[in-house]
Amino acid sequence: MWYVLQHAEWEGPGIIAEALAAHAIRFEIVRLDRGAAVPKASNLDGLVVMGGPMGVYEAADYPFLAAEQKLIASCVAGGRAVLGVCLGAQLLAAALGAPVIKGPQMEAGEGSVVLTGSGRQDPVLGGGKGELPVVHWHQDTFPLPQEATLLACSRLYEQQAFRLARTVYGLQFHLELSREQADDWRNRGLTITREYEQRVRAVGERVFDNFIHLAVAGG
């Protein structure tokens, strides 16, 4: 069983759920924003941690954040697949010992990331162009966790994607938007044209399929 940890109504798994279903993987969406408990590491085969409006440093207001960090650390130590998106990537970085702070500038809407040399060779993010269309929606940032490999950067923030071992990935940006999510985010003020949405989705479908295939194969 895989678990998808969701922190906000508008930050669901989108096409990640479609990719899991396409690989016939059983998964459960855990709505932490609705009071669901953080699952135990012993009960899962893979973990996806989604974004959210809160910061890692706000654990006093959102107690589940500390429990999530412990779960992520247990999954990493146990060799389980972990994918963190936006807040999920920040929680992963924190679980690996990196401090998460509020950055100097909001990064939101249409954007791109440039793959590093390691990113271009990466089995999940690589295999396409060296610059990927993405959607940004964050301000928090972090230094690269110890022993992690930097995979992608943007003009505003260096840490956009990183990998630890073979199946632990943090993505600061968003590739998971379904049609409904993209419509919702536009209504919330983000600039995402329909054409750009389709470009991002094409990249997301490839990236998430690569990640799940790698995870199922055992890295």
User: CA–CA separation, 181 vs 197, rounded Å?
Assistant: 10
Q: What is the mean pLDDT of residues 23-30?
A: 98
Q: Could you give the 3-state DSSP secondary structure of residue 146? A: coil
Tens-place pLDDT, residues 89-117: 999 999 999 999 999 999 999 999 999 99
Residue 43's pLDDT band, with cuts at 50, 70 and 90, is confident
Task: For residue 42, give both structure tokens.
Answer: 């012993």
Q: Which superfamily is assigned to 2-216 in CATH?
A: Class I glutamine amidotransferase (GATase) domain (3.40.50.880)
Q: Say yes or no to pLDDT of 219 above 60.
A: no
pTM of the predicted structure, to 2 decimals = 0.97
- Residue-level pLDDT at 218: 74
Query: How confident is residue 128, by pLDDT bands cut at 50, 70 and 90?
Result: confident
Q: Are 107 and 139 in contact (CB under 8 A)?
A: yes
CA distance 80 to 148: 16
Query: CA-CA distance, 71 to 191, in Å (whole number)?
Result: 34
Per-residue pLDDT for 88 more than 90? yes
Whether 127 has a pLDDT exceeding 80, the answer reads yes
CB count in 10 Å sphere of residue 187: 9
- Buried b or exposed e, range 42-67, using 16+ CB within 10 angstroms: eebebbbbbbbebbbeebeebebbeb
> Which 8-state DSSP code applies to residue 70?
H
Residue 206 has pLDDT above 70, yes or no: yes
CA torsion through residues 181, 159, 115, 47, sign: negative
Structure tokens at 94: 């924190």
